[in-house]
Structure 1
Amino acid sequence: MCSWERYCAFAREPERRKVGADARVAVSGTHYEVDPDLAGEDVLLWWGLFDTDLFVEWNERRFGPYRPSGGPIPLRRYRKPGKSVRKKRSEAVVALADAINLPRTVVAGGSEPDYVAEIVPFRAVGFEDPDPWQELTFASALAARRANSDQLRRPLGELGSTDLALIADLVERTLDKAEIRTAIREHFMRTPENEGMLTSRIRDQFKIAKDWREAGHFETARMKQISAHIRAAIMAGRLIAVSGPVGAGKTVALNCLKSQMTAEGKVIVVRSLSIERHRITLSGLITALFLDISGDPNLKVPTQPERRERLLQDLVRAEQKPVALFIDAAHDLHGQTLNGLKRLIEMVDEGGGTLSVVLVGHPRLHNNLRRPVMEEIGHRTAKIEFGGLGDEGGAFIDWLLKSCLADGVKQNDVITADARAFLAETMATPLQIIEHLNRAFMDVFRLGADIVTREIVEDTISAGFEDLDARLTRIGYPPKAFADQFDTRLPEIRRFLTGRLDTERTEEITAMMRRAGLPVCSPAPFSHSMVRAR
């Protein structure tokens, strides 16, 4: 024999479904909200007729349980009907008869049976339960501590030493969910939590004096060399393309370079401040040149093209300094705009001035300039790759902690060397390291621990962090840009990224990616001979 909960688990059947963009999935008209990391993914749903909770399996990882967030009222959730007066009276009579040990025949009528059958108890056999979804026990002590924090609605780091010792003894003694939840409920009282003070409390707990982004600019030998190349190309009046993945530090490094060049006064720095990058036009960039070179924000720029270009020639020549126009997110610029920038540089050069244009964007910018149709511009462009941290990841983490921790606090006091090495090995950019440092310290504070360990850092990494679609997006290739690059339909690209495209077409797209220099660790191709496991 087994419990009702285990019988419900055995009655489940898998069903492959696609999670919506809002991280919701509907089962029999009932909506469930799953983890945000599963949005848009093809998952395996485990749900049975007697279930009110939903379990999800994706990439051999299990998630759940998830409770309904909308739709019809689930099974066994209806309000019980009220008892009538007659029903209450009859129950009271039966309860009174039981209290004074009267036989039921006195209450219900009839005669007493002549004999009572002998009751032979059944043999009880213990049930060996594999518990694959951890419905009965927690997977680990860390999982139990997270559940304790959720139950208390407060980080464990706020608890006193006595309460923390009680929780430590409890999770060391057992991982049974029911026992742990009952003990926590009996010992603690829930208090409202002020989430607005969370960041300051974490800083005070781990002696973090300032925010990571206030540490300054981390400059390696490679970055200094890149800055020198950009300076030389600017003085020569070149079209320059600087590309790097999301979060590599391009904007911070170039902002430092622009500030240095402005302070030196040898180059006039022009910034394109338009927020709508996909709508940047050549006329808007020329307006930025007029405003920054003249220094007059109220200058009325001519609208007639011929007169406007002649006045720009005179303006640059009169300054007798090289002019550098910086354009961020240049991977979204139209090909005609790039052609116009090339002609603009040539026009200023003919007028006796020097104009350089610095294009900053994702690696897609370099790939676009390498295309045969862009040969006129691509071959005239100085291409500079601004990669990630590479082997400098460990040095960046050490510099960041040293810059932000309070005086006298050592790195090993707040995060282990193993955790730092894992971060440096797994994360490629400063943005990724900073994000996962925040997650790790928040998780440690929530668990009531004293130091960030490798196990905690591993748990903070999002599901699908190294998936192909995530890696392509970091280098500027979301599905739509990917489809435009290879002249394919968007639904076909989505099937390719989720491994549901046929083998022949998958190999064709993989070959095109390899020729373009993109990551080629493509998903396993979909085969129509696959049968859903039951």
Structure 2
Amino acid sequence: MRRKVTPYNLTFEPILLKELCVDCGISQSRIGKELDLSRPLINLALNRNYLPRECSNFKPKVEAIIRNDKKAMKWLIERKLKVEDIWTTLGKELRNQTPAGTGAKTWNTRHQPVMVPGDPEKLIIKEEVEMLSQEVMKYFKIFRNPFIDDIQKDSDIFMSEEHRYIEAAMIDAARHGGFLAVIGEVGSGKSVMRRRVVEQLKRDGDVIVIFPQMIDKTRVNAASICDAIVMDLSEQRPAMRLEAKTRQVHRLLLERAKQGFRSALIIEEAHDLHTNTLKYLKRFYELEDGYRKLLGIILVGQTELKNLLDETRHIDMREVIRRIQTAEIKGLNGNTKDYLVLKFKRIGAKVEDIFEEDAFAAFSRRLTTMDRQNRTVSHAYPLIVNNYAVRAMNMAYELGMPKVTEGIVMKIESSESL
């Protein structure tokens, strides 16, 4: 007897639309609601290239949804794709993928900007470093780009009073079983500070640093944290079951504490952690030997982490939020000149030979915005200051100016807005 053909008998062949939805946070429920279709039918369309009979002009209507979604259109443009390409068949690696975030509330929280720019057209926000041409370096009589491969030792790191405070807070949390979140924008120096703290702890030799290596932090869970602790504290193989893993972790932490060592768990890209994982971290934090905490925890992440730790948005996270201390890395405003002095000094150049004094104040003005409470906010993070300085030097060369002036800094064109 021939088996009746149904949509569920169709071959599993996810289409490009599914990858787009996963990356851009477009849920199947949202598409179904806009088209007045059930979620299972949308699931069949994404995973088996099935066109629901219940909706005439299904493809044009879905394409209209995508065209009205700015994030989705940006996703397509970045990949040089057209809207019509969303029906292309993909491989099976997307079988269990869900949209980034965990539900609409978390998705919106993760992607809500913390600051509102005062004048976004005057900000250059680039994750990659701007380049100085050989002609520009020759023009200013420097032999190296001061912002490329610029940290070789501790003395190459600019540390303001605020940076030193956060560094001390991280070391204290590692040594005394604290629970700390270090938050900063892209390019604010979070990873540099983390490396500096880890090197300091290694030199002191009294703290064992546990550093989970999983690249995709959205997949970090209680079991993987247990595995990281076991592997970094011993040569043992992690147990298979979670209960056995937990007992193994507790036993190893007790053993290292009796040997005179403290243990510190440091997680980078912590803004990608699932809210359930943050709750599990509280359980790890509560592991004790009498009154003594066995594990210090330091989370390092972008400003989305600040939103995740906002009790007004995540009331179910209050038991974690009320126990965690936060330290936010601010911009360099007030220290911009000192920062650039250090960068040029390490390549044997004097900053005053390249920049006029009024240029430093101009950098601060260009990189200051207002937040929702009408308070001034500095965006003068190291990476952004580097980009501004390079672009200003390039413009000074093009204009034939001997130094970068206030006027040049104010005329820099933005390639990306905040």
Shorter-chain TM range is 0.5 to 0.7
Equivalent residue number for residue 141 of structure 2:
207
Taking the TM superposition and a 5 Å limit, the aligned residue runs for 1:252-263 are 252-263=192-203
Select the residue among 386, 399, 414 that pairs with 2:342: 399
Q: Deviations over 1:425-469 (max 9, x none)?
A: 32321111101112222333344543323333233241663xxxx
The offset of 1:399, in angstroms, is 2.5
Instruction: Confirm whether residue 279 of structure 1 aligns to residue 213 of structure 2.
Output: no
Structure 1 counterpart of 2:183, from 224, 227, 243:
243
SS in structure 2 at match of 1:229: helix
CA distance, structure 1, for counterparts of residue 184 and residue 147 of structure 2: 21
CA distance in 2, matches of 1:329, 1:237: 21
Give the CA deviation at 1:413.
2.4
Matched, 1:413 2:353: yes
In 1: Cα distance, 2:157 partner to 2:285 partner: 31
Between the aligned partners of 2:384 and 2:309, the Cα distance in structure 1 is 28
Separation of aligned partners in 2, 1:447 and 1:368: 46
Q: What's the TM-score, normalizing by structure 2?
A: 0.59
Match of 1:345 among 285, 301, 306: 285
Residues 7-406 of structure 1: pairs in structure 2 closer than 5 A = 21=74, 22=77, 199-210=133-144, 211-213=146-148, 214=150, 216-294=156-234, 296=235, 299-320=236-257, 321-347=261-287, 349=289, 354-371=294-311, 372-404=315-347, 406=348
**RMSD of aligned alpha carbons:** 3.1
Contact 2:223 2:245 in 1 (8 A): no
Counterpart check, 1:437 vs 2:389: yes
Aligned to 1:450: 402
Contact 1:314 1:351 in 2 (8 A): no
Structure 1 residues 391 and 414: CA distance shift in structure 2, 3 A: closer
> Aligned equivalents of 2:69 and 2:252: distance in 1?
58
8 A contact 2:340–2:351 mirrored in 1: no
Paired with 1:397 and 1:198, the residues of 2 have a C-alpha distance of 15
Larger radius of gyration: 1
**Does the aligned pair in 2 maintain the 1:436–1:461 contact within 8 Å?**
no
Q: Distance in 2 between matches of 1:392 and 1:464?
A: 24
Change (3 A) 1:376 1:198: closer
User: Which digits, 9 at most, give the CA deviation of each residue in 1:125-176, with x for residues without a partner?
Assistant: xxxxxxxxxxxxxxxxxxxxxxxxxxxxxxxxxxxxxxxxxxxxxxxxxxxx
1:459 matched to 2:394: no
Percent of pairs identical after alignment? 28
Q: 1:345 to 1:451 in 2, by over 3 A?
A: same
Superposition deviation, residue 269 in structure 1: 0.9
The alignment covers a number of residue pairs equal to: 275
For 1:353 and 1:416, the matched residues in 2 are separated by 52
SS of the equivalent of 2:346 reads helix
2-structure distance, mates of 1:198, 1:418: 22
**Judging changes above 3 Å, is the alpha-carbon distance between structure 1 residues 348 and 358 closer, same or farther for their aligned structure 2 residues?**
same
Gaps of 5+ in 2: 1-67, 79-118, 122-130, 368-379
Describe the superposition over 1:230-265 as per-residue Cα deviations: whole angstroms up to 9, x where unpaired: 222333312211112222212111210111011110
Q: 1:306 to 1:441 in 2, by over 3 A?
A: same
- Aligned counterpart, 1:150: none
What is the CA–CA distance in structure 2 between the aligned matches of 1:350 and 1:270, rounded to whole Å? Answer: 22
Quick one: structure 1 residues 198 and 342, their matched pair in 2 at CA, closer, same or farther if it must change by over 3 Å? closer
Q: Give the letter for the 2:160 counterpart.
A: T
**Alpha-carbon distance in 1 for matches of 2:283, 2:184:** 26
> C-alpha distance in 2, partners of 1:307/1:348?
18
* 2:255 partner SS: helix
1:281-314 deviation digits (Å, cap 9, x = unpaired): 22222222122212x4xx5321111221112122
Contact 2:188/2:329 (8 A) holds in 1: yes
SS state of the match for residue 300, structure 1?
coil
CA contact (8 A) 2:147 2:386 kept: yes
The one-letter code matched in structure 1 to 2:216 is: E
Q: CA contact under 8 A between 2:287 and 2:294: conserved in structure 1?
A: no
Query: In the superposition, relative to structure 1, how do residues 227 and 411 fare at CA in structure 2: closer, same or farther (>3 Å)?
Result: closer
* Offset, 1:349: 4.6
What is the alpha-carbon distance in structure 1 between the residues aligned to residue 394 and residue 69 of structure 2? 31
Which whole-Å CA distance do the structure 1 matches of 2:287 and 2:140 have between them? 58
Tell me the amino acid that sits aligned with residue 176 of structure 2: A
- Please tell me the residue identity of whatever aligns with 2:310: R
Amino acid at match of 2:237: K
Question: Would the alpha carbon gap of residues 273 and 448 (structure 1) be closer, same or farther in structure 2, given more than 3 Å must change?
Answer: farther
What TM-score results when the alignment is normalised by the length of structure 1? 0.47
Q: Which residue of 2 aligns with 1:485?
A: none
